Amino acid sequence: MVSTVDLNTVDGLSEQEAIARLKQDGYNELPSAGSGSILSFAWETVQDPIFLLLVGGGIIYWILGDLQEALILLGFVFFITGISLYQEGKTEHALEALRDLSSPRALVIRDGERKRIAGREVVRGDVLVLAEGDRVPADAMVLSCTNFSTDESLLTGESLPVRKVAAAGTVEMARPGGDELPFVYSGTLVVQGQGIAQVQAVGAQTEMGKIGNALQKVKPEPTPLQQEMTRLVSRLFGIALLLCVAIIVIYGITRGDWLKGFLAGITLAMAILPNEFPVVVTIFLALGAWRISQKHVLARRASAVETLGSARVLCVDKTGTLTLNQMAVQQLFAYNHAENPHPYNLELHLHESLPETVHELVEFSILASQRDPFDPMEKAFKELGDRYLAHTEHLHNDWILLREYPLSPHLLAMSHVWQSADGKQYEIAAKGAPEAIADLCHFTPQQQKIMAAQISEMANQGLRVLGVAKASLVDAPPPFLPPHPSLNPNHLPDEQHDFPFQFIGLVGLSDPVRPNVAAAIQECYTAGIRVVMITGDYPGTAQTIARQIGLMQMGAILTGAELDLMSDAELEQRIQSTNIFARAVPEQKLRLVNALKAKGEVVAMTGDGVNDAPALKSAQIGIAMGQRGTDVARESAALVLLDDDFSSIVQAVKLGRRIFDNLRKAMAYLLAIHIPIAGMSLIPVLFKLPLVLLPVHVAFLHLIIDPACSIVLEAKPAEATVMQRPPRHPKEPLFGRKTLGLAVLQGVGILVIVLAIFVVALYRKQGELDARALTFTALILANLFLILSESSSSRLSLKILKSPNKSLSRNNFYNLLSRKLTEKAFLAQKRQGCYMTSSKALWWVVGGGLVFLAFVLYVPFLRQLFSFSFLHPIDLAICLGGGAIALLWFEQLKFLNRPQRVIQSKSIKPIQENQRVRSDANKHP
């Protein structure tokens, strides 16, 4: 069914009207519980084990009559609550910015121009432009449509798509269900055709909104990493609880002081309870997804952040990803039955008019396209006509479109049936893949051979080739001619094959390569990542593009037709030596993904169409196009490429490796620092020595430990060699033997140093207060040196303080604005302070720790609360020496734990190295 409205006459709402209605009706969102308030965050903090232990310790001190100790512990309660609120707020702001970016896109007409906005910003009265694969953002009335069908199974349960018609005048919205309704509904999917609709209801007023309350009960599932961490924490929590009970019993029985036994148990619990582990994982994944979005890649699922660092193969489209998707007509080959026809190259005749021999070819390529095109190729045809054929009889702006025959998987060609303004002429224009056009024109084998030679010549120049054909109903025999002058669409044939098409010629279009793709491809090879190009273009075109971007051609190019003839076993063998697939259709991507996965690869696959959805879902990392992709593709993918640029994928992989590296550093740091804290809480009880650490001391340490993880280590930039090593194995645990052993050695090293200082102080009879002050100071300094060491895995710790590693430099800031990311996302970045350099964050934590240490050592009131004695310069020198020994120990361990060998080769060796590493990883997962 066809009903048209000229988009040039539709102005839509003005921006001022849209802003006013947005304020009046609110955002176009389903009912939800909303983001957490400060009170809800505070309540969650109150339930934190460390919070409860601090309160318990304060109560015991109060019972013992030590009001000062009780008050100081309550003061730490407020400090730790503040840190927790900051972490929660930082994570919530990042998630809020991601929600804005991940909101479904909607194409609207405002102030007479098309504009793509977030679906949540659609308002009543907006004019929507809908096409196949789009998700309808709001309930709307159809103004115009062509072969328009939607899937409303989400609302009605109907298994088949329903046809839509244009509304005759203004009508009231009706309930969904059944064919021939002039309404579309929020959340439904356009499965065929295109249409223009005016929004009637948004948010809670839509049909989806009326049932949206049920969605509030749906909670996101934890990622595999979070599940692994939950299991680890549960086991450690049980062990910690048993040890705490044992310490209380031992202290009470051996010393007869049960209240101090409870204090010792609380101290040990605070020292070894692993409550920070799941918090750190959540913060890293949330902020990691946000950081990836700053590289114009939206992570729709947190699991993608985990998987990015292990990507081994990147399968990418050519058009729009490797190229700019800015088509321009470069060659015209008019098939005029001449003995030796030659293509007309527009680049060689820039300032000349088009010869008459190609006028018809341009005319019918425009007629076979949308009148107001969105597709880059159709835009190129229109620009060519406007430039060379304006004010001629070859442009038909007053003709009426009677019917459109869309592309189908079985016939890669589309046709438009036109009626002239006087109603006397009926023309059919077709364009599509040259093979499909040749099929419509019933070419003989000899004609196909001649055309194939010309296509090959054009494709070898890097051109995308389309065929164009025409048919006229004036000379056609019945039943094509209707019995009355006005041709009724119902009398037209059901298939394009039934028209008497004549071949007109070929059109060659060029699409320039993105300028930064070649460097990104080389970076992939340096990182041991294989790049596979999948394109619908001809082998010659694909080979030309591959040569321009430096894509390694490991073997012969495989075409879609050859792919269909292969068994799965044959494909699995062939895919190891093939990096370019040409003339491939979207449905074949799924076979390619499955073949790569069968060989043990971790696959990242790009796609933009409805047919790409199965492959995107099957790939470990599905990447949908954000600008030209369909909503179906975006919903099936784990990542959305906001700028459709291949180099953004490479940057996301780099960030994925960085996030995993930083997370591993943070977890190793937590494990290492808990060992000496737990040791100095447990050993004095077992050997009847004076207690070293009390709850107030462990609380002080947490004021350094928590920011070190959430601010310093999370914000640490990637190592210089992060993209010069093979991808990690996807099953590699966060706490592998190497990481676990290193953390244990670091922690034991600190424990030995502070225990030695404590024992020597007692042996010299310096007293309990002196021994505690010396031990605690040495522990703080060793902790700060450990933070310095964990901040880098390959450089000397002192050098990192001079590194100008900015999370968001001024240039990046202006680049962010130029990319037109949402203002709200930028404000969220500013609120989080992510423009601070990592070095500054490190200085704040280290400097803050030293300042607070100075306060508790030399402010008499605080020194008394912490049960310390006055430390002299020689005492500080001893503690600093202990910290320096700890730093040397950390650096020696780092040297022994050198990272994997860096990949240096720029030839085929990176692929071979990748395969060798993968083979070794499969043997030793």
Q: Which residues are catalytic?
A: 317
DSSP 611: G
Helix H or strand E segment including 344: strand 344-345
**Which of 416, 317, 334 is closest to 649 using CA atoms?**
317
Both tokens of 705, joined, read 């430990």
CA 476 – CA 687 distance, rounded (Å): 106
Helix pair 67-102, 276-293: axis angle to 10 deg: 30
Contact 588, 610 (CB under 8 A): no
Within 13 Å and on the Cβ side, how many CA atoms surround 461?
Answer: 15
Burial 501-522 (b: 16+ CB within 10 A, else e): bebbbbbbbbbebbeebbebbb
The strands making up 603-607's β-sheet, listed across from edge to edge, are 297-299, 639-641, 621-625, 603-607, 313-317, 530-534, 580-582, 558-559
**Which of 650, 427, 460 is closest to 557 using CA atoms?**
460
SS3 for 842-874 is HHHHHHHHHHHHHHHHHCHHHHHHCCCCCCCHH
Contact 162, 63 (CB under 8 A): no
Both tokens of 359, joined, read 């006028």
Question: Sign of the C-alpha dihedral, residues 393, 395, 400, 402?
Answer: positive
CA distances from 913 to 527, 830, 904 (A): 10, 42, 10
192 forms bridges with which residues in the sheet?
Answer: 149
**Which of 136, 337, 240 is closest to 678 using CA atoms?**
240
DSSP 806: B
- Count of CB atoms situated within 10 Å of the CB of 40: 13
Block residue for tokens 């339930």: 47
Percentages of the chain per state (helix, strand, coil), in multiples of 5: 55, 15, 30
CA 249 – CA 265 distance, rounded (Å): 9
- Count of CB atoms situated within 10 Å of the CB of 340: 4
How many residues does this entry show for the chain? 925
Contact 192, 132 (CB under 8 A): yes
CA 896 – CA 476 distance, rounded (Å): 84
CA 888 – CA 890 distance, rounded (Å): 5
Q: How far from the centroid of its chain's Cα atoms is residue 412's Cα?
A: 32
